[in-house]
Amino acid sequence: MKIGVAGAGHLGKIHIKLISEIPDFDLVGIYDLDQGNCRAVANEYNIKAFENYSDMVQEVDAVDIVTPTLSHYDLAIEAIKNFKHAFIEKPVTNTVLEAKSLLDVVHEANVKVQVGHVERFNPAFKAAQEYFTHPMFIETHRLAQFNPRGTDVPVVLDLMIHDLDIVLKVVKSNVRKVSASGVAVVSETPDIANARIEFDNGCVANLTASRISLKNMRKSRFFQKDAYISVDFLEKKTEIIQMEEVHGEPGPFDLCVDLPDNRKKKILINQPEVNPTNAIKEELQAFHHSIITNSIPIVPLEDGYHALKVANTILEKLGSVSALS
């Protein structure tokens, strides 16, 4: 399958390297506004440097859009209208209206679009998925040391949106209420933010994101009846603590808690095996698989739209945007 990459920045170079390692893809070339950098990267991987994005679109079956968010919509809409499949980095577009417009066009063009919410492919999250039943309280912390590269967008769109996607995937209920607070410390938009999301099914999620922390942390905790699930996205570790009813006498080494009515519950601690993988490479392989099997992508455009819509609501509560709707 012929694919072209739009974007030769930091993440774009990572995508180019990984695509070149995937036999199912034929990496045709790259396009970037910075033609000097574009040619340098193209020479490194012995691929074509396109001076015009439209020319690249005509020569490929799919495009991988790894450019600044402001350009996502224009690049994606051109590819889709030319019946090309598209992988779009997160956030899917700059505005909710743009994402909605893409949804309408995708349905007409009948092509596959996947959004780069890469934490779906994190091996720690994948190891935990089978244990989720009905989470009722979720707490997430995504803290990063300061990096000027990400300050062109609010921390909600830079970091928190990863956890928004995970929470929406796990809860599977409509959002009822959103409240948020945050502060801009070193940039013009919030650098640290906290959001509380209440769902129709009663679940509550509390999300914190910061890009001015002394240490990195990417950890989420999920609480549901008789279970606590901890997912460390950074350290790639998963821990499941479950409780089950004890019938008869517990074993001599069982860890139990006494409950009313003379009942006991046994505490079970499980650390499922987490197989090390390259999440970005996996999401690109999954994109290819959805195309050749004509199946729904693991992170379809609809999911990117919903994550952006909730992120936009949070930004409105923070008072940092009015133009993203």
Quick: pLDDT tens for 231-277: 999 999 999 998 777 767 777 767 777 777 777 777 888 999 999 99
Q: β-strands 175-183, 192-199: how paired?
A: antiparallel
The model's pLDDT over 146-195, given as tens digits with 9 standing for 90+, comes to 877 666 678 999 999 999 999 999 999 999 999 999 998 888 888 999 99
At residue 90, the 3 state secondary structure works out as coil
Q: Where are the domains of the chain?
A: 2-118+280-298, 120-277+312-318
Which 8-state DSSP code applies to residue 264?
E
Structure letter (DSSP) for residue 323: S
> What's the CA gap between 62 and 45, in Å, rounded?
18
Q: In CATH, what class is 2-118+280-298?
A: alpha beta
For residues 182 and 177, what is the distance between their CA atoms, to the nearest angstrom?
17
- Return the structure tokens found at 6: 């739009």
Measured CA to CA in angstroms, residue 144 lies from 160, 180, 212 at distances of: 11, 19, 6
Q: Which amino acid is at 307?
A: A
Looking at 2.50.20.10, 3.40.50.2000, 3.30.360.10, 2.60.40.2130, the CATH number of the domain 120-277+312-318 comes to 3.30.360.10
CB 144 within 8 A of CB 211: yes
Is the pLDDT at 12 greater than 90, yes or no? Answer: yes
pLDDT at 178: 98
